Structure 1
Amino acid sequence: MKSYSLLAALLLAATAECCQNTEEIHTMLRAFSEECAEEKETELSKGELEDIFSGKCPTNENAKCVMTCIAEKSGLVQGNQFSFDRFMESANKTFSCDQDTMKKVEEVARECERDIGNAKGDCEIGLKVCECVWKQKK
């Protein structure tokens, strides 16, 4: 598995094998999470960070804000809105070696585009993207 974005972390459980390695995912997520925690002037526990790395959806406001920031830095959301085009652009860079995976990713992205809409609070969109992706896994 290989990626540079939150997309991969969120879709790991919803898709088949992809092209890059897990360590790259964790390295990028750690960098984004540290930047975001600093920008949001918050600290996350080791457990909260591990939850984000493993694709679990955040449960408290600080973690939601960090998740939203990571989603923004990854290009998955813009202006409190899910971005189908950016989602697919990230997916193509990450999963293009596997057409079956790309089909599943596109299905997930279309469902999320339809279900998410605009977020009400400043930190809700990251949570909504996470919940949508996990819902599609079921």
Structure 2
Amino acid sequence: MAHVNATETDLEFLRKDPPFPEKSACIITCLLEKIGIVEDGNYSKMGFMTIVSPLVFRNRKKLEHMNSVSENCDKEINRRGSACQLGNEITICIFKYAPELHFKS
């Protein structure tokens, strides 16, 4: 938040559907970096699978579904956008293929 001078108001946008405004998207990108879904400024399908595998590893069908989500997003995410826009693109793609991961409040 400090890096992009974000406020609590910028966090409120994260309760809504993406795309998020610039500062909110920057926060998402930062969070995705921290958990390994963004690596070296790019989407990491391996990072995504590392995060979701413990949630679905006992269910082969769900694991295969998440692998498909990972592959689809790897193909669809634009690598030429801004660093913050990457957070929007990843979130949109994951929610598109795996809406069950969208924890709306």
- TM-score (norm: length of structure 2): 0.78
Q: Which residue of 1 aligns with 2:12?
A: 47
| 8 A contact 2:13–2:21 mirrored in 1 | no
Cα drift, residue 91 of structure 1: 1.5
What amino acid maps onto 2:87 in structure 1? G
What residue ranges of structure 1 are gaps of 5+ in the alignment?
1-36
Does structure 1 residue 78 correspond to structure 2 residue 39?
Answer: yes
| 8 A contact 2:78–2:89 mirrored in 1 | no
What amino acid maps onto 1:114 in structure 2? K
Does structure 1 residue 135 correspond to structure 2 residue 96?
Answer: yes
Count, aligned residues: 98
Does structure 1 residue 115 correspond to structure 2 residue 85?
Answer: no
Percent of residue pairs bearing the same amino acid type: 20
SS in 1 for 2:2: helix
Cα drift, residue 60 of structure 1: 0.6
What residue ranges of structure 2 are gaps of 5+ in the alignment?
100-105
- TM-score (norm: length of structure 1): 0.62
Cα drift, residue 69 of structure 1: 0.5
Aligned alpha-carbon RMSD (Å): 2.0
What amino acid maps onto 2:43 in structure 1? F
1:8-87 equivalences in 2 (<5 Å): 37-45=1-9, 47-51=12-16, 56-87=17-48
Q: Which residue of 1 aligns with 2:102?
A: none
Please point out which of 52, 58, 73 is paired with 1:91. 52
Cα drift, residue 108 of structure 1: 0.6
Q: 1:129 to 1:94 in 2, by over 3 A?
A: same
Q: Deviations over 1:14-57 (max 9, x none)?
A: xxxxxxxxxxxxxxxxxxxxxxx234331132632433xxxx32
SS in 1 for 2:81: coil
